[in-house]
Amino acid sequence: MFNPIVFNEKTCTGCNNCVDICLMEILEANPKKGKPPLVKYPDECAYDGACWMRCPQREKGAIRIVPPLPMRVSILRGEKP
């Protein structure tokens, strides 16, 4: 239903650190070695960010967490200070 975690095939090395660490056990190692994990239970994401924090390729954008629309913040935009 939701798509909370987006992997970048180009920069993810398939190390599966995120699979090991996920609090909610929503990820599964890809049967193809070196490929990004599969998001097996996307509806059980806790949006805590542990997978993203521990990703060694984070700076290269290997993993991105996208909150679903109802969870996005409501912002009152101001003028430039």
Partner 1 sequence: MKPDIEVIPIETDVLVIGGGLAGCMAGIKASEYGVKVTIAEKANTLSSGCAGTGVDHSWAYIPPIHEKMGWTIDDLIEDHTQLIARGFINKGLLRLVASENYNRMLDLEKFGIKIRFEDSKIPGKFRIVYQFHSLPSSFNFDGRDLKVKLTLEAKKRGVNIVNRVMMVALLITDGQISGALGISTNNGHLYSFRAKTVVMSTGRANRLTPNVTGIWGNHRIPVNETGDGRAMACRAGIPVINMEFLSSGYYSIGNYELNLGSPRNTVQPAAAVTGPNGEVIVPRTRFYDWDNLGKEKVDARISRQKMLSGNRNPRPSYEQLKQQGEGPFYLDLTGGTEEEIKYIEWSIRNEGKGSLFLDYLKNQEGFDFRKDKLEWLPNSREMAGTASSGLVVNNDLETELKGLFGAGDDVGGVPWAGAPGAFVMGWRAGEKAAKEARQQKNFLPADAGQIESIKKLCSGILQSKEGQHWREIELAVQNAVDYYAGDIRAGNTLRRGIERLNDIKKNTSFRAENPHELMRCLEVQSIIDNAEMVLNASLERQESRRAPFGFIRADFPEQDDAKWLAFLSLKRNEGKFEFSRIPIRQ
What is the binding site for partner 1 (CB under 8 A)? 2, 20-25, 41, 43-50, 52-54, 65-68, 70-81
Nearer to partner 1, 33 or 77 (CB): 77
Lookup: tokens for 19? 């699979």
Find out whether 65 and 28 touch, Cβ atoms under 8 Å.
no
Q: How far apart are CA 67 and CA 76, in angstroms?
A: 19
Nearer to partner 1, 10 or 47 (CB): 47
Least CB distance to partner 1 at residue 78 (A): 4
Q: How far apart are CA 14 and CA 33, in angstroms?
A: 7
Least CB distance to partner 1 at residue 65 (A): 6
* 75 Cβ contact partners less than 8 Å away, ≥ 6 residues apart: none
Least CB distance to partner 1 at residue 55 (A): 11
Nearer to partner 1, 12 or 55 (CB): 55
